[in-house]
Amino acid sequence: MASDFDALQPDVILSALEAAGYHPTGEYSQLNSYENRVFDLKLEVTAHAPEPTDRVIAKFYRPGRWSREALRDEQEFLFDLQREGIPAVAPLPLKNGETLLSHAGYLMALFPRVLGRNPQEFLGDELKQVGRTLARIHNIGSRKVAKNRRWLTTQTFGWDALDRLEHWVYPELWRSYEEGAIAILDHLDDNLDESSFIRIHGDCHKGNLLHTGKEFFFVDFDDFCNGPAIQDFWMLLSGTLSDDLANDEQEQICLGYEELREIPDDWHLFEPLRGLRVISYGAWIAQRWNDPFFRRIFPDFNTYNYWLEEVEVLNRIASKL
């Protein structure tokens, strides 16, 4: 089995940093990332570097996933946020005068190293703080669309994904899986209003949220897209909207959000969007299954029990539409 990153050996990583105008010491460590390869590298601080710093985060994008234009849309959004004083980790300048470098078949960007903690749970008024930050992000996101990024539609994230999954779901479970998925996608087709789509984070869960000790900020905009604002809410909440904890959390995040932006009126899409995520996530793993890394991370993916649980989730959501 071959990985898209088989050629990304230490000499390639270090030579990419040098081509970008920075001087790595040779000390680096790999960070957790499923889709791309991300490294924390120590640098020699020199006056000739595009940005004087002793450490950077290097992100090597999976070949063929994003075009240069799509990555520039993401970076432009990060700079938009930064210019407005919104906590965001925007890319560093490179020797070529840009913020993207093509090296040895990979597109790469460098980012400043920012320390923070992922919240395991929200304490006090922290969810209100998150709500305010999210509202500020959406205010910027609503100013225009990202022309080269995906739209969070059922076609892009659902129907095509469902077609791919027919060969992965266990045959005896496929009919039930398909029925639940179709009910969810049909519901979204009838209720998603693309005219209301804005630029959103797209993968807005606790793992992509950091707290520096002073404030919250979102990281990893790799799934940045055009979509409904509500998409950036539901993954931050615990459980479904029928759970007491999720209801309390919804109230808190909305209290912060509505200080700066009107609360979305499509909370009824919370569960269908969760179902869309289940479908698209499964298709994403299937698409990457030839990568040995994915087989290690998702060892149960091709088991009967995995797909039985997916069927139960989809049909539970479908039954409440």
129-156 residue pLDDT tens:
999 999 999 999 999 999 999 999 999 9
pLDDT band at residue 120, thresholds of 50, 70 and 90? Answer: confident
The identity of residue 278, as a single letter, is V
Residue 295 has pLDDT above 80, yes or no: yes
211 and 98 fall within a common domain = no
- Verify whether residue 80 is a known catalytic residue: no
From the candidates 4, 73, 80, 203, which is the catalytic residue?
203
Q: Mean pLDDT in the chain?
A: 93
Domain with 190, as residue range(s), is 126-319
Best CA proximity match to 317, nearest among 276, 280, 281? 276
Q: Quote the CA–CA distance of 243 and 237 in Å, as a whole number.
A: 10
State mean pLDDT over 285-311.
94
pLDDT at 212: 83
State mean pLDDT over 22-29.
95
pLDDT at 274: 95
34 part of a folded domain:
yes
pLDDT band at residue 298, thresholds of 50, 70 and 90? Answer: very high
pLDDT band at residue 248, thresholds of 50, 70 and 90? Answer: confident
Alpha helix segments (H runs only) across the chain: 10-19, 68-83, 126-141, 154, 160-165, 171-191, 231-234, 244-257, 270-287, 292-297, 304-319
Residue 1 has pLDDT above 80, yes or no: no
State mean pLDDT over 263-278.
94
| 139, 259 Cβ separation under 8 angstroms | no
State mean pLDDT over 198-213.
91
Among 112, 138, 167, the domain-final residue is 112
**13, 19, 22, 28: CA torsion to nearest 10:** 0
75 and 144 fall within a common domain = no
pLDDT at 114: 87
60 part of a folded domain:
yes
Best CA proximity match to 75, nearest among 52, 93, 102? 93
94 and 138 fall within a common domain = no
Number of compact structural domains in the chain: 2
pLDDT at 237: 83
From the candidates 4, 220, 222, 291, which is the catalytic residue?
220
267 and 191 fall within a common domain = yes
37 and 100 fall within a common domain = yes
191 and 312 fall within a common domain = yes
Contacts of 129 (CB under 8 A, 6+ apart): 215, 216, 256
117 part of a folded domain:
no
282 and 184 fall within a common domain = yes
Q: Which residue has the higher pLDDT, 238 or 288?
A: 288
Give the torsion sign (CA, 127, 131, 137, 138). Answer: positive
pLDDT at 82: 93
- Verify whether residue 203 is a known catalytic residue: yes
2 part of a folded domain:
no
Evaluate if pTM is beyond 0.85. Answer: yes
Among 63, 78, 112, the domain-final residue is 112
Q: Quote the CA–CA distance of 231 and 196 in Å, as a whole number.
A: 12
The long-range contacts involving 4-7, CB below 8 angstroms and separated by at least 24 positions, are: 4/62, 4/63, 4/64, 4/291, 5/37, 5/60, 5/62, 5/291, 5/293, 7/104, 7/105
Q: Quote the CA–CA distance of 86 and 307 in Å, as a whole number.
A: 40
pLDDT in tens, 43-92: 999 888 999 999 999 999 999 999 999 999 999 999 999 999 998 899 99
Percent of the chain scoring above 70 in pLDDT: 97
241 and 300 fall within a common domain = yes
201 and 229 fall within a common domain = yes
State mean pLDDT over 254-277.
94
Q: What 3-state class would DSSP assign to 3?
A: coil
Residue 166 has pLDDT above 80, yes or no: yes
pLDDT band at residue 261, thresholds of 50, 70 and 90? Answer: very high
271 is written with which tokens? 């569960």
Q: Quote the CA–CA distance of 90 and 112 in Å, as a whole number.
A: 8
Q: Quote the CA–CA distance of 68 and 99 in Å, as a whole number.
A: 11
Q: Quote the CA–CA distance of 287 and 164 in Å, as a whole number.
A: 8
158 and 298 fall within a common domain = yes
Percent of the chain scoring above 90 in pLDDT: 80
Among 79, 112, 145, the domain-final residue is 112
pLDDT at 216: 86
pLDDT at 108: 97
